[in-house]
Chains A and B, each alone.
Chain A
Amino acid sequence: MEYTDYDAVIVGSGIAGAVVAKTLTDAGKKVLMLDASLESGMALEGEQAYRTQAAYLNTFYRAIAKAPNSPYPNLKNAPSSDVLEAQPVEIMDPNTGYFVQKGPLAFGSDNWVGAGGTTQHWLGTTLRMLPNDFRMKTMYGRGVDWPFGYEVLRPYYEMAEYEIGIAGEVSEQRLPNIGDDYFSPGYEFPMEKIPQSYLDRLMLKKTDGLKVTMKYDHATVQHEIHCCSTPQGRNSTPNKNYKYGGVAWDHRAKTLHMTPAGLGGYEPIGSLWDPYTGQRCEGNAACVPICPVQAKYNALKTIKRAKQKNPHLLDIRSQCVAYGLEIDPDSNIIRGVKFNRYESAEDRSYTMGIARGKIYVLAASAIENAKLLLGSNAANSSDQVGRNLMDHMCLLTWGLFPEMVYPFRGPGSTTNISSFRDGDFRSRHSSWICPIDNWGWGWPAFSPGTNVTEAVMEGSFGEALRDRLRMELSRQVLLHFECEQDPQPENRVTIDERYKDRLGNYRPVIHYDASDYVKEAFRVAKEVSDQIFKANKIADGTTYLSSEADYWEYKGKGYTSRGAGHIVGTHRTGSDPRTSVVNPDMRTWDHKNLFLVGSGNMPTLGTSNPTLTLTALTFKAAEAILKQLET
């Protein structure tokens, strides 16, 4: 089986692959997209798309644990990781699950290998990184600098915000050390901000403006807390003043630019099966793992727009698992992507194939990209492929608010504490962002279900039971401090002949740990949390158990860290081929027709959820690809 004559072959159908496919086909290029998961998942319209969504939703309803991947098929031929598999590394069986966890800590995040990728289960938070995130080495002597600054990425952020469709309020983005040109003059988001929750309103009264103390061995620092509404990739009321109507390739200038909006401003993109469904968030409170009405963005919306506009330029082949690259030994040019096409989810039989084009783009996620490169012995002259795996390590703190705040409603988070995202403390410990969560103790304690079990086990029944549950559940609050993990070469994805999946492809072998830089942030963040709880008269319910997967002790106290699902850093961009995998255009240093896109490109993580930044980087990559195709 051979697919040939493409300008570009893309591996992966998540947001990075989708943006490359759309941008290239818009510019008249012929593109092949290989997707590892089921063909039914790639249904882009009408009855078929609706039936796929109904199947996901039904699976979600019937799941006991509503984990991020619970609605979606986990295919033996193209497996996904699952957070539910994470346990203390010493008791994990390397022959089960998908990740082979070598520790010392378990990597506690997952992504989904399937049509639309992890944008199917993402929350939809879309924060830009801060200018100082791009110069961590220079400013704070930590991590590495990016090969370019925030100002270079700013126009691409605007493209990403258009493509995803962001709801947010520019004037409320109160962020540390961003200067006055963080947003371009007069910039507004495509849609009005998502209303902040009732819970946020009560929490903000005593939290916004609160002065807290950060204590160190030889210093004490005062900090005033600031909060702001969170920009999100979900539909709200369209902004009539939004300036842009698309992203287009300028054949003469060889650049991407944004085209002006039509008269009505921004037009929200509804669900795949019906454009009038999902025009606005309906408050399903299930963004992770599934938005039933698709008011939340997912990458299939981008693929659908590409396919509708240029049906003959975009070919999509599902059930094709890419496993290797064919490399010309003399020139190091990539000659093809090798894949196995399987017939059905149950069936282990497959046909081998190869896909050929001028340019190759790996967009299969930070973990899968690294695996593919390592398995092909490609792009790794720097020995950086697979290294510097990062995530936001989350400190969760939870308690009962003195009055009813009514959680379990609305999007997962609508407000965040933004003031710890940058500051001098970054030379001592990680910065963090702290979303105020809207879904009670669901994450740390599996509420509300566990509250019923607990009460019943304690002998509660009847009206007393109901009153008890009402009082407990209506007052639950949760904060999570997403601490920036610094790049560590030993936190890495590797491959091992002993560990393969059903089709004989490598399973990711993961080495993972927390540095003292992050641990110190946990210590300080917990003390900040205690002060926030005290000011709000929140009765603390936080417990960290030594039996939990990622429990560790630091300076005499125990903490449990949890993954944020922000899997970053396995093929970083840089200006030096000796210490980075891709150049500032996201092209591999080693192969002039191989580009990598996705969160693997990020040299550091900052305190933003990475999807918006990886999308901006992907637009930058797409521009470079077009330039290369036209010279």
Chain B
Amino acid sequence: MAEFMITSIPTSKVKQPDPDLGTFLAISSVLTGCSEAELEGTGMLDDYFCVLMKEQDHEGVRAFLAKAEEILAHKGTIQEEIKMTFIDLPDTATRPNPPFDQMGYDGLAQRIILLWYTGIWTTMNWKDEKTQPERTAMVSAQAYQQGLIWETAGTHPSGAKQPGYGSWHEPPIEEQDQRARKSTTRR
């Protein structure tokens, strides 16, 4: 058994409370389109913050978070500023599919979106390692199950959180609720 048993060892925690954790949550919410409560509900916030801190040159992450904090303070223009700063490609990047490190802030915003949606982290090669190809890894079994993609698609992670016998014969519960609400309104 021991030969192929993989135990999920929690990533080591950064010292808490970290002043940037709140910013990470807030910027994650804007980037993913999910409320902070939804993100916290996955139970992955601390783990993902650790992944970010552990994988990175800290200065790079801190710079990203500092910029994010600055933008988040400008209520009213948040979306535009995020787009300009983190999403729009710099002139030097080549389409299609530019590698993350050609994007603003080394594609941290994009990496964070993928992390929340799929549980997969794309390792970063800052500084001297830029020649190495980027590698992807599932953060943990829990990260896979908590991916936002499943609920977005109206389903559950394949192989977990099973909805029960025959559930697939009907639309998802949320859809049924919505239909019921509509028909009540009409009445």
Contact = CB atoms under 8 A, between A and B. Distances in A.
Interface of A: 38, 40, 48, 51-52, 55, 57-64, 66, 73, 195-198, 201, 236, 280-286, 290, 292-293, 344-346, 404, 406-411, 414, 438-440, 448-449, 451-453, 456-457, 459, 461-467, 469-470, 473-474
B14 to A, nearest CB: 23
Interface in B1-60: 1, 3-6, 8, 30-34
Contacts of B153: 406-408, 440, 448, 469-470, 473-474
22 contacts: A38-B3, A38-B4, A57-B141, A63-B138, A64-B136, A64-B137, A282-B164, A285-B162, A346-B3, A404-B171, A406-B154, A409-B156, A448-B150, A449-B118, A457-B96, A459-B88, A461-B30, A461-B87, A462-B32, A466-B32, A469-B117, A473-B153
Q: For this complex, into which size category does the number of interface residues on chain B fall?
A: 35 or more
B1 A198 contact: no
A414 B164 CA distance: 16
Interface stretch (B63-71, B106-114, B126-134): B106-114
Contacts of A58: 5-6, 8, 141
Contacts of A465: 32-33, 113
B138 A409 contact: no
Contact of B110 (A57, A285, A456): A456
B169 interface: yes
Contacts of A470: 152-154
B140 interface: yes
Interface of B: 1, 3-6, 8, 30-34, 79, 82-83, 87-89, 96-98, 109-110, 113-114, 117-118, 120, 136-138, 140-141, 144-145, 148-150, 152-156, 158-160, 162-172, 175
A452 B169 CA distance: 26
Given A404-B154, A409-B168, A466-B33, A64 B162 contact: no
User: Nearest 3 A-B pairs (CB), nearest first?
Assistant: A410-B168, A286-B159, A61-B141
B159 A61 contact: yes
Contacts of A284: 158-160, 162
A61 B162 contact: no
B158 A285 contact: yes
Given A198-B170, A464-B33, A283 B159 contact: no
Nearest to B7: A58
Nearest to B161: A284
B165 A280 contact: yes
Nearest to B86: A461
Contacts of A55: 1, 4-6
